Chain A
Amino acid sequence: MHNVDADPLDRLAEWHAAGKKTALATVIKTWGSSPRPVGSHLAVSEDGDFAGSVSGGCIEGSVIEAALATIASGQPVQLEFGVTNDMAWEVGIACGGKVQVYVESIS
């Protein structure tokens, strides 16, 4: 049985081995009741496939978009999501927490 928590890095390795461009998003800071702890990973392939999570599903869409941009540009970015963020109305975290996510490409 596969370790669910190790899945993002395993999938990232598979995509990378298949010659696909990939990005890795990592929760680097949390405030309040955010659903996933610091260090949680979301892996994204150039095809838009993804594995893992950086929240309970609330902000994954935005993070995947940012990851695809990072794959294209090669530039890492920092994202912040939370109740005080303008984005909150679109994708904010239902539980009221705040998270900071670092997105980098694997090159």
Chain B
Amino acid sequence: MKADLFEALKLNIAAHKACAVVTDIETGSQSFIGADTRIGDLTLKEEQLSVVNQLIVGDVSGQIDGMSLFVRVYGPSLRLIIVGAVHIAQALAPMAQLAGFKVTVIDPREAFVRAGRLSEVEALTDWPDEGMRKLQPDSRTAVVTLTHDPKLDDPALAAALRSKAFYIGSLGSNRTHAKRLARLTEDGFSERDLDRIHGPVGLDIKAETPSEIAVSILGEIVATRRRSVT
């Protein structure tokens, strides 16, 4: 890989932009295909380029064209939005970062954000509806609410339900969750909308501590994503 190609790849990954490197594995010639950059010594035919673009959209790497071309797709990062800088968030945020998620915590209670020791995580002290408007969750975003407080959780859940977020989870007991669903139904959400919310949140691994609950939530997020792409 030529240095200029590697440089372009690095810049695109840092900017969370989807891109691909296409290599002729017999000759070693190679091209970088970004949203607005195309460099390299491998010339692609129109139809090959269209296949590459399909792979980029699907975030799938593989060989094409009788196996002679290898396409390595670099998808944009997955994102996790956590509402509530609570104890569980202190564990969930770094775990999700290790797993490749770009994590943002929203909590208007600055004392919680400070106490959460989230120095390596982007934290917004906006109200959740405002924070969600800024972050614009998409189909590569997971949203988890952890505050138990309807005035913080509900607006975030409403915004998540109106987005294409691939995972929505909400902490709370069965009873809390039932009340939450009743409130959201009053707000006009259908049963089908509400089925998107994982609540009580997380896989049933009998988690007790904040870090164990974080494992169960991250496990459920990964399971949801992998099920939806296969």
- Interface residue ranges, A against B (CB under 8 Å): 1-6, 9, 12-13, 16, 24, 26, 28-29, 38-39, 75-76, 78, 102, 104-107
**Bound-state Cα–Cα, A82 to B58, Å:** 28
For the complex, is B9 an interface residue (Cβ under 8 Å from A)? Answer: yes
* Chain B residue contacts of A105, Cβ below 8 A: 1
For the complex, is B2 an interface residue (Cβ under 8 Å from A)? Answer: yes
- Interface residue ranges, B against A (CB under 8 Å): 1-3, 6, 9-10, 13, 23, 25, 28, 30, 61-63, 67, 70, 72-73, 93-95, 97-100, 120
* Chain B residue contacts of A102, Cβ below 8 A: 23, 25, 70
- Contact of A16 with B6 in the complex, beta carbons under 8 Å: yes
- Contact of B100 with A4 in the complex, beta carbons under 8 Å: yes
4 nearest A-B pairs in the assembled complex, by CB-CB distance = A39-B61, A1-B94, A1-B97, A76-B28
Q: Which of B10, B28, B62 sits near A38, CB closer than 8 Å?
A: B62
- Contact of B100 with A104 in the complex, beta carbons under 8 Å: no
**Bound-state Cα–Cα, A6 to B72, Å:** 14
* Chain B residue contacts of A1, Cβ below 8 A: 93-95, 97-98, 120
Q: Which of A5, A16, A24 sits near B100, CB closer than 8 Å?
A: A5
- Contact of B1 with A24 in the complex, beta carbons under 8 Å: yes
**Bound-state Cα–Cα, A1 to B10, Å:** 19
Interface of A is mostly: mixed
- Contact of B99 with A6 in the complex, beta carbons under 8 Å: no
**Bound-state Cα–Cα, A75 to B28, Å:** 8
Q: Taking CB as reference atom, which chain B residue is nearest A27?
A: B61
**Told that A1-B94, A28-B25 touch, could you supply 12 new A-B pairs with CB distance under 8 A?**
A4-B98, A5-B100, A9-B9, A16-B6, A28-B70, A29-B67, A38-B62, A39-B61, A75-B28, A76-B28, A102-B70, A104-B1
**Bound-state Cα–Cα, A9 to B61, Å:** 16
**Bound-state Cα–Cα, A46 to B94, Å:** 32
* Chain A residue contacts of B61, Cβ below 8 A: 38-39
- Contact of B1 with A106 in the complex, beta carbons under 8 Å: yes
**Could you show 29 A-B contacts with beta carbons less than 8 Å apart?**
A1-B94, A1-B120, A2-B97, A2-B98, A3-B97, A3-B98, A4-B98, A4-B100, A5-B100, A6-B13, A6-B100, A9-B10, A9-B13, A12-B6, A13-B6, A16-B3, A16-B6, A26-B70, A28-B70, A38-B61, A39-B73, A76-B25, A78-B25, A102-B23, A102-B70, A104-B28, A106-B2, A106-B6, A107-B3
Q: Taking CB as reference atom, which chain A residue is nearest B26?
A: A78
Q: Taking CB as reference atom, which chain B residue is nearest A39?
A: B61
Q: Taking CB as reference atom, which chain A residue is nearest B61?
A: A39
* Chain B residue contacts of A12, Cβ below 8 A: 6
**Bound-state Cα–Cα, A3 to B226, Å:** 18
Chain B proximity of A105: nearest CB distance (Å):
8
Q: Taking CB as reference atom, which chain B residue is nearest A76?
A: B28
Chain A proximity of B140: nearest CB distance (Å):
14
Q: Taking CB as reference atom, which chain A residue is nearest B94?
A: A1
Chain A proximity of B221: nearest CB distance (Å):
15
**Bound-state Cα–Cα, A16 to B30, Å:** 19
**Bound-state Cα–Cα, A91 to B94, Å:** 35
